[in-house]
Structure 1
Amino acid sequence: MVRLGTGELYPKLYPSKMMKDVFVKLSQTVTSLNYLEPLGLLELREILSEKLKNKGIQCKPSNILITSGSLQALQLISVSILKQGLTIYTEAPSYIKSLQVFQSVGMQLLGINMDHEGIQYWKIAKERKNIEDAILYTIPTFHNPTGIVMSADRRRELFKFCIDNRIPVIEDDAYGDIWLENEPPKPLKSMDEHGMIIYLGTISKVLAPGLRIGWLVGSESIVNRLGDVKMQTDYGASSVSQWILKEVLCNTNYDQYLKETKIALKNRRDLMISALDKYFKELAVWETPKGGFYIWLVLKREISMEKLFQAAIKEGILLNIGSSYDFNKNNALRLSYSYIDEKDIIDNIKKLSILVRNLTKNSLFEVK
């Protein structure tokens, strides 16, 4: 089965030699795998604190909580510091797993449309007339699933709007390091001097989701409270994984690995865009992403996405249907160039185009 929407790196991009060096060093230096302190391995938080300065985020190790992936950070936030029934504004569409986390604890979700610069924040004001308690969850950099990068101007405007309207922000930066052309604007958190933004990061997208390590940056009071809840939940993220990540980030080959990975992803993206240009020009519209993993493919004519999904399964293709990420039915697909074998890209985009054409013949409606 070819997974045409999976949000992981292709397994052969795994840096075997670098990781072997890391494991050898750990076997010689780590003398204990006991429980770590509530906020996570201090040495790892110190390294992250330094690396975050490159993004314009000024924080101490005491402002960082190590989590078992960034999804756990959302879970901790949802169950311990957000009121049940709170309204959460988010981009429409948005990351499905995040939406499910919020919904599972009784939050009210409200999708706000996007344009090519990011979330249209001014539409929040129209929705907010009868809403007192609300926060914003946003993926401003290489948005999942659309790939949109919020412009620097939009970030400044959004930040000011949230300050003026007292709307706290959860900023998810899972893809921020995976820029394929130009470095994106600094995170929203880089403007935050008052602790109104909780910033989330992860190693899952740039290296290994199996490590299950993410991090949360916030005020010390929030970080300590979430750290206490995490200790009651699982007694801390894996000490093995934290030591591994600490050594990875210290390894002299890590930056080169990241550079090579981005080159490989750019080649894959270009190959998929070329295939779309060849087979989908009459069928769909899309933008070329500047980073991340995804191409948001919007079909020009309305078809049964369920029929497309089932037809693709019969052809050995697993699709990520766009409606899974949205608040309403849509006519889109999240395509990923990160996981599929490079040699399979062109043939499977061609197969997909044939399936769409066959379903389009029976469609009378064009999507505006």
Structure 2
Amino acid sequence: MNWQPNRSLTTSLSKQIVQWMTEQIQNGEWPLGTKLPPQRKLALSLGVNRSTLQEAIDELKANGLLSSKTGSATYVSNDSWNVLVKQKQTNWQHYIESSIHKANYQTIQLINEFEQDDTVIRLGTGELSPSLLPTAELQRSLSEVQLDGKAIGYSSPQGNFSLRQAICQYVRKRGVETSPENICIVSGGLQALQLIALGLLETGSFIFQNHFSYLNSIHTFQSFGMNLYSLEDNQLTAETIERIRKKRQAILYTIPTLHNPTGSSMTLEAKKSLYALSEAVQLPMIEDDVYFELLFDEPTPAIKSFDRSGQVLYIGSVSKTLSPGLRIGWVIASTPIIKRLADIKMQMDYGSSAISQQIVEYWLRTGRYEKHIEHLKAELKMRAELMDNLLNLYFCNMASWESPKGGFYIWLKFHEPIVTTELFRRLLKKKVLINPGYIYAPNDSRHIRLSFAYSSEMELRKGIEILYQEINQFLKVAPI
């Protein structure tokens, strides 16, 4: 043994010894079980004092490469090879667990996984059935849309100008007057929320929301250190706002028309009252209006239509109506906000799909979109009546619900707290997928979000019957 640490290096002597001993084990010079020389002799040969050597040996023991018993010699650990193999591998799990964006709840991960299984009956899915999408019409429109090299390249930061002009015309029926300069095209409503979180809010901000909320099922705000504040009985008061704002920045998130997951809609008076309160205390508002077109009756004006101070950030999308695969939505807001969101978006993905933007512009401009909406609403209304009838047949004595007024969902509330992860898994084994209430409100055990928009009539009948059977079986095994 003629190696000694180099005292001219900036690396400490003990660290050099640790590296050298590791190499001896790794290269097979010190096989498993090798007994090290006595510390006095080893320190002398290395040209260091015993305390320096002891520091290195202690580190190697902590790493699992060396081992010894009290009062005995030091040996190369029998598990040292496994330790060295692990040291060579990047600990990606540590990277994953310490990353900014938090993992979805396990139930949501399972929902996302099994939604790809065509053998599963999807009773909670928040999207349209493939049979309700205008596939043939979209395909035909591809041949009618005029494309050129510039049009299908990168779009401007705010999105296709012609599309923004078409959106200006379209949202007038919501009572919203705007200009292309105040619109940013985004890749669906979810990206709009991500851009708002990244571009407008500080860490620790409070997001006021309904007690049952779509935001609880995603981590758009939570992953950036923001706090979701659920309103008791969905009531917002000036006192609550002021108390929170003394701590941190705050913003209100609302889906006033066909709320997700409850399916409820605010009256015009309730919308005006909420806006008046937020204006009085200068609380900014995100109005998520992606479902309004699916209301069976005539919708009331958007909250944004009352906005004269630029306080409301308005989100629209065609993902719930035309095609989720097009990934086209929009944000309407004051000019500085739009410029900020557009800048963040360009940093993230350099703009939404140019071809998708061209298609949506064509559908809005030619009136095809509104014609499709009327047909879609008629189809959804028939499905809603079917689901309502099925629930009356099976669940009238054990649950309550409101007959759907549009959209996709029925918010089923059981008289007893029976909606658990165990019930979710039992149903999954029977190839039925539900969206349990606890993904929309922590600890909720009484609700299921049921969707009539995706599964076929046969699947809805079969799925609801299985749900009924499993709940009855569940109650027999674990009576409340």
Q: TM-score, normalised by structure 1?
A: 0.93
What secondary structure sits across from 2:352 in the alignment?
A: coil
Amino acid corresponding to residue 284 of structure 2 in structure 1: P
What secondary structure sits across from 2:412 in the alignment?
A: strand
C-alpha distance in structure 2 between counterparts of 1:55 and 1:239, whole Å: 26
Displacement over 6 Å in runs of 4+: none
C-alpha distance in structure 2 between counterparts of 1:11 and 1:156, whole Å: 37
- 1:220 matched to 2:339? The reply is no
Q: Residue deviations 1:246-277, cap 9 Å, x none?
A: 11212343322211111110000000000000
| Contact 1:302 1:331 survives alignment (8 Å) | yes
Larger C-alpha radius of gyration, 1 or 2?
2
Alignment partner of 1:157 out of 267, 273, 283: 273
Structure-2 residue corresponding to 1:145: 261
Alignment partner of 1:84 out of 203, 208, 211: 203
| Contact 1:301 1:360 survives alignment (8 Å) | no
Q: Residue deviations 1:119-172, cap 9 Å, x none?
A: 3223x6346424332110111110000001011111111111111111100110
State the shift of 1:362 in Å. 4.8
Alignment partner of 1:7 out of 126, 129, 137: 126
Structure-2 residue corresponding to 1:112: 231
C-alpha distance in structure 2 between counterparts of 1:88 and 1:178, whole Å: 26
C-alpha distance in structure 1 between counterparts of 2:135 and 2:250, whole Å: 45
Shift of the 127–77 alpha-carbon distance from structure 1 to 2, 3 Å rule, reads closer
| Contact 1:49 1:60 survives alignment (8 Å) | yes
Greater mean deviation of Cα atoms: 125-134 or 75-84: 125-134
| Contact 1:91 1:138 survives alignment (8 Å) | yes
What secondary structure sits across from 1:249 in the alignment?
A: helix
- 1:229 matched to 2:344? The reply is yes
Within 5 A, what are the aligned runs for 1:1-368? 1-26=120-145, 28-32=146-150, 33-96=152-215, 99-114=218-233, 119-122=234-237, 125-126=239-240, 128-132=242-246, 133-180=249-296, 182-303=297-418, 305-362=420-477, 365=480
What secondary structure sits across from 1:163 in the alignment?
A: helix
C-alpha distance in structure 2 between counterparts of 1:157 and 1:248, whole Å: 35
C-alpha distance in structure 2 between counterparts of 1:310 and 1:61, whole Å: 48
What secondary structure sits across from 2:221 in the alignment?
A: helix
C-alpha distance in structure 2 between counterparts of 1:347 and 1:262, whole Å: 24
Higher relative contact order (CA 8 A, sep 6+): 1
Alpha carbon RMSD of aligned pairs, Å?
Answer: 1.6
State the shift of 1:279 in Å. 0.2
Q: Residue deviations 1:33-72, cap 9 Å, x none?
A: 1111111000000000011111000100100000011111
What secondary structure sits across from 1:333 in the alignment?
A: strand
C-alpha distance in structure 2 between counterparts of 1:273 and 1:325, whole Å: 22
Amino acid corresponding to residue 168 of structure 1 in structure 2: P
C-alpha distance in structure 2 between counterparts of 1:353 and 1:282, whole Å: 12
Shift of the 46–130 alpha-carbon distance from structure 1 to 2, 3 Å rule, reads closer
C-alpha distance in structure 2 between counterparts of 1:348 and 1:219, whole Å: 46
Q: Residue deviations 1:75-101, cap 9 Å, x none?
A: 111111111101110011111477510
Equivalenced residue count is 358
C-alpha distance in structure 2 between counterparts of 1:295 and 1:52, whole Å: 27
Shift of the 130–141 alpha-carbon distance from structure 1 to 2, 3 Å rule, reads closer
C-alpha distance in structure 2 between counterparts of 1:144 and 1:110, whole Å: 17
What secondary structure sits across from 1:200 in the alignment?
A: strand
| Contact 1:64 1:217 survives alignment (8 Å) | yes
Shift of the 128–280 alpha-carbon distance from structure 1 to 2, 3 Å rule, reads farther
Q: Structure 2 unaligned runs (5+)? A: 1-119
What secondary structure sits across from 2:243 in the alignment?
A: coil
